């Protein structure tokens, strides 16, 4: 039964996949050599060839990492849930799937559609839960969280943001703007992302906005990342 359930799940998410299932211990299984195959049309009705994220979206769609919606759209401005991002990053890295005996998070139970992907991401130290023990799979993932996961995947050491410029501004949910501060939990995440080219100033005009003064760049690190932004960052992770 477990083989059939997982096979159905993977076909639903990716279209077609190649998997092998081996038992590692009583009640625990690991997927090996699981590789998504691109079987769906990677042309989306709402994405034109001159769209800023078009190359990244096309590349990831053809690799089976991301898919569109039943109506043929991609919805580039739509936010990405934490469960969706876990699925994307596991597929992008072509990680071996892991199925655990007992789910790590109470809000990602055995019948959750993203269980395998979340557990695989956890096992590879890519994602973590919250202090209350939850994962919040339907929560919108932020730009800072995406950068954090990519940095973990690349194995980069954390560093402070470069000085002098760019002078980085953080836009809060209430539209209040302030300078990035060393007390921010993502302070070194930003520094590492800039150092390794995940974020570029001022070229990333769809992720970074000009600040009030020359040499300042404004970013919504605490805001939900869009599907287009997520695709671009994932593509950079693979480069």
- Quick: pLDDT tens for 15-52: 333 333 333 333 333 333 333 333 344 689 999 999 99
Q: How do residues 165-183 score in pLDDT, each as one tens digit?
A: 568 888 877 778 888 889 9
Share of the chain above pLDDT 90, in %: 59
Question: Residues in the chain with pLDDT < 70?
Answer: 1-42, 164-166
**Token couple for 36:** 């998504």
From residue 98, how far is each of 31, 59, 170, 229 by CA, in Å?
6, 26, 37, 28
From residue 233, how far is each of 89, 96, 120, 189, 229 by CA, in Å?
10, 22, 20, 14, 6
């Amino acid at each position: 039964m477990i083989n059939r359930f997982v096979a159905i799940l993977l076909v639903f998410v990716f279209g077609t996949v190649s998997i092998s299932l081996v038992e590692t211990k009583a009640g625990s299984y690991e997927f090996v050599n699981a590789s998504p195959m691109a079987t769906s049309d990677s042309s989306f009705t709402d994405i034109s060839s001159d769209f800023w994220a078009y190359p990244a979206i096309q590349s990831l769609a053809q690799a089976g990492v991301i898919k569109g919606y039943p109506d043929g759209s991609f919805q580039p401005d739509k936010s990405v849930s934490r469960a969706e991002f876990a699925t994307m990053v596991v597929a992008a890295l072509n990680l071996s799937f892991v199925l655990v005996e007992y789910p790590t998070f109470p809000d990602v139970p055995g019948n959750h559609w993203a269980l395998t992907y979340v557990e695989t991401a956890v096992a590879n130290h890519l994602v973590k839960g919250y202090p209350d023990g939850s994962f919040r799979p339907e929560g919108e993932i932020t730009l800072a969280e995406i950068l954090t996961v990519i940095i973990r995947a690349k194995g980069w050491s954390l560093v402070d943001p470069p000085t002098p410029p760019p002078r980085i501004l953080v836009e809060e949910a209430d539209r209040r703007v302030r300078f990035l501060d060393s007390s921010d939990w993502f302070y070194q995440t930003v520094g590492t992302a800039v150092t390794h080219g995940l974020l570029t100033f001022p070229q990333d005009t769809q992720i970074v906005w000009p600040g009030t003064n020359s040499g300042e760049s404004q970013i919504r690190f605490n805001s939900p990342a869009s599907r287009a932004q997520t695709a671009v960052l994932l593509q950079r992770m693979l480069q």
